[in-house]
Chains A and B, each alone.
Chain A
Amino acid sequence: MDCWREGDVTEALLEIEGLTKRFGGVVASDTITLAVPTGELHAIIGPNGAGKTTLIGELAGEIAPDAGRIRFDGGDITALPTWRRTALGLARSFQITSLFPDFTALDNVALAVQARSGHSFRFWRDARQETGLRAPAQAALARVGLAERAHVLVSKLSHGEHRQLEIAMALATSPRMLLLDEPMAGMGPEESARMVGTLRALKQSLTILLIEHDMETVFALADRISVLVYGRLIASGAPAEIRANAEVRRAYLGEEEEARHG
C-alpha cells in the first residue's frame, strides 16, 4: 500500500515496514507498513483487539516484532531499547495512566526533563533545586494547562489531569515525535475539549501518531488516518477518503454506528 503523499519530498520521520507479531495463534500485527512524514498528525483507529496497543508497544520498544523494520529519522531503531528511542526523540504516553504517584506533578515532569539533560550520576546536589530542570518542567506543565497544579501530589490529581500530565511528561523529553495511546481515555466532555485544544497546539511543532477511539477528535485533528483491523492496515488516507471507504465503514464505523444507536 502506497502511503506517500503525492509530490511529497520530505522523507518520512517514522517508517514502519512489514511489522509482524504473533502471540501464540493470534496475529497482533500483520505486515503493517506505514510512513509518517514530519509535521503530520496521523491517527490510527480500529475496533478493540485490532492490535493498536501492540503496535504502540512495538514502536516504543517494549514488544519485539517477529518481523519487519522500524525506521526513525532515517535510522533503524528496531532493535533499540525503549530508553534509547526516547533519547532519539520518539516519546510516548500511556493509555492507562503511568505516572509517579508519590511525587508532585512538577517532580514528575522534571524527571522527564532530567532524562534529557545529561547523565544522572550526580550524587550530591539537590536535584529539586536545579532551575535547569524545574523551569522547563514548569513550562511543559503550562503547555498542557496544569501550571497551577505543579506542587500537587499525582495521587491527588483528577483523572483528566493525569491524562494531561501524561502528555506533559512526553513533551518534557523534547521529542520530535509523540506516540499518543488513547489520550482521551475516560475523559468527560469538558476535559476532552481541553485535550483537543492541547493537541491542536502541539500539532504546530511536533509529529504525532495518535491512537484514539473518539471519532470526533480523530476527524477534527488528523491529517491522515489509518485503519487497523485484526492487526492489518486495511485503509490509509485523508479523513474524507476514510469516511467514504466502504470496507472501513463495514469493519469499523458500522460498529461505531451500532454502538451509538444501540
Chain B
Amino acid sequence: MTAWLSVRNVVVAALLTFLVLVPVLSSFTGNLFLMTLFTRIVILAIAASSLNLILGYGGMVSFGHAVYLGLGGYAVGILAYEGIGSAFVQWPVALLVCALVALIVGALCLRTRGVYFIMITLAFAQLVYYFGVGLDRYGADDGLTIYRKSQFPGLLDLSNRAQFYYLCLLLLMATIHVTWRLVNSRFGLVIQGARSNDRRMQAIGFPTYRYRLVAFVIAGTICGLAGALLANHTAFVSPATMHWTRSGDLIVMVVLGGMGSSFGPLIGAVTLLVLEEALPVLIRIITFPFIGQMAFRVAEYWQIVLGPLFLLVVLFARGGIHGLLARGRRD
C-alpha cells in the first residue's frame, strides 16, 4: 500500500490535479497568462511525449521532430487560408501529411545508425525548414496568420480558452496512455529491445528496421496533432516552428523530464517552460538587494545555466527529474 504513496506518484498526482484546475485558478485570480502558458505547456508536452516514444524508448535521436509541429500547423493554416475551416478536414489532413513525411524521412534515415542518423535528421529538418521558407503564397519567412480556429460545428468552440485547454489536456492524457500501452505491448518491447541491443534483436529473428519505421511514423503523427493544436493556440504558424533548434528544445524537455518514462516528457515541458518564465523573475528578486539595478541584466542571462545544467543531467542524472523522483522505487 505504501508503494502508492511514493514521492514520484505524489508529485505526478499533484501536477495532474493542478493541470486540471488551471482554468479555474486562472479565472479566479483573473490571470489569463496562467492559462495561456499552461495551454502551451500541455501542447508541447504532447509533442515531447511523441518524441519520447522514439527517443526515450527507441533510442532514436531525431533532431527533426519539430518538423511535424510545423507540418501539422501548416496543414491547419493552409486549409484555413484556402477557406476550409472544418477541423474534421484540417486535423485528419495534418495527421496524414505528417504520417507520410515521417514514412519517407524515416525510411531514409533509419537505414543509418548513431551519429549518421542524428546528422541526417538534422539535414532533413533543414530541408523542410527551407521548403517552408519558400512557401511564398503562405507567408514564407514571415509566417501565416490563422484568422479562424479549427471549427467543430456544434461540438466545441476552440476560441473559448477553457474549452480549448481541456481539449488539449484530454489529448495529452490520451497520448500518455496510448504511449504507455504501446511501450508495454509486443511492439513496444521490440522497439525497446532494438534500442538496447539491435544486433541481438536481429539474431533472435526481428527485422528491426520495420518496427523502428512504424514507431517513427506513429511519433511523427502524434506530433502533427500537437502541431495542429499549437497553430490554433498561437493563431500563427511559421517556418521557425520547424527549425532544428525547436527540435532541440523538445529533446531537452524529454531528457530533463526523464527519458523512457510515461510522465517524464510532461514533467520536462512543465519544468522548462515554467523555468523560462519564473527564473528571470526569481533571479531578479533574489539579487536585487545585493546588486540593485544590475539584477535586471543578470536575470536576462539566466539561460546560461541551462546549457551546463543540461550537461550535468546527461552526465549524472540520466533518468532526468522523473528518475530522481523515482529513485529507490523499482519501476
User: Are A and B direct contacts in the complex by CB distance below 8 Å?
Assistant: yes
Chain A residues packing against B (C-beta within 8 Å) = 60, 62, 81-83, 86-87, 91-92, 94, 98-103, 107, 111-112, 114-116, 120-128, 130, 169-170, 172-173
Residue of B nearest to A126 (CB): B184
Partner of B184, one of A81, A121, A128: A128
A16 CB to nearest B CB, Å? 19
Contact residues in B for A101 (Cβ distance below 8 Å): 196
Complex Cα gap A126–B202 (Å)? 22
Known: A123-B181, A127-B188. A173 touches B204 (CB 8 A): yes
Known: A103-B196, A127-B186. A121 touches B204 (CB 8 A): no
Residue of A nearest to B191 (CB): A120
- What are 22 A-B interface contacts by the 8 Å CB criterion? A60-B203, A81-B202, A83-B203, A83-B207, A92-B203, A99-B197, A100-B193, A100-B196, A102-B196, A103-B193, A111-B189, A115-B204, A120-B186, A120-B206, A122-B185, A122-B186, A125-B186, A126-B184, A127-B186, A127-B188, A169-B200, A170-B204
Task: Say whether A82 contacts B202, CB under 8 Å.
Answer: yes
B146-183: which residues lie under 8 A (CB-CB) from chain A? 181-182
Task: Say whether A123 contacts B189, CB under 8 Å.
Answer: no
B330 CB to nearest A CB, Å? 9
B197 CB to nearest A CB, Å? 5
Give 1 or 0 for each of B185-215: 1 = CB within 8 Å of chain A CB. Answer: 1111110110011011111111110010010
Complex Cα gap A124–B208 (Å)? 19
Known: A125-B186, A126-B185. A173 touches B205 (CB 8 A): yes
Partner of A99, one of B187, B200, B214: B200
Partner of B211, one of A103, A120, A130: A120
Task: Say whether A127 contacts B205, CB under 8 Å.
Answer: no
Task: Say whether B197 contacts A112, CB under 8 Å.
Answer: no
Task: Say whether B185 contacts A124, CB under 8 Å.
Answer: yes
Complex Cα gap A99–B189 (Å)? 14
Task: Say whether B185 contacts A83, CB under 8 Å.
Answer: no
Task: Say whether A115 contacts B205, CB under 8 Å.
Answer: yes
Residue of A nearest to B185 (CB): A123
Task: Say whether B207 contacts A86, CB under 8 Å.
Answer: no
Known: A86-B205, A115-B204, A120-B211. A100 touches B184 (CB 8 A): no
Contact residues in B for A99 (Cβ distance below 8 Å): 197, 200
Task: Say whether B186 contacts A112, CB under 8 Å.
Answer: no
Complex Cα gap A101–B214 (Å)? 24
Task: Say whether B190 contacts A120, CB under 8 Å.
Answer: yes
Contact residues in A for B211 (Cβ distance below 8 Å): 120-121
Complex Cα gap A107–B186 (Å)? 11
Complex Cα gap A100–B197 (Å)? 6
Contact residues in A for B206 (Cβ distance below 8 Å): 83, 115, 120
B3 CB to nearest A CB, Å? 17
B260 CB to nearest A CB, Å? 9
Complex Cα gap A60–B187 (Å)? 24
Task: Say whether A123 contacts B204, CB under 8 Å.
Answer: no
B206-231: which residues lie under 8 A (CB-CB) from chain A? 206-208, 211, 214
Complex Cα gap A248–B193 (Å)? 42
Partner of A91, one of B190, B203, B214: B203
Complex Cα gap A231–B186 (Å)? 41
Complex Cα gap A48–B211 (Å)? 38
Contact residues in B for A112 (Cβ distance below 8 Å): 204-205
Task: Say whether A169 contacts B214, CB under 8 Å.
Answer: no
A208 CB to nearest B CB, Å? 16
Which of B188, B189, B199, B203 has the largest count of A CB atoms less than 10 A from its CB?
B203
Task: Say whether B193 contacts A111, CB under 8 Å.
Answer: yes
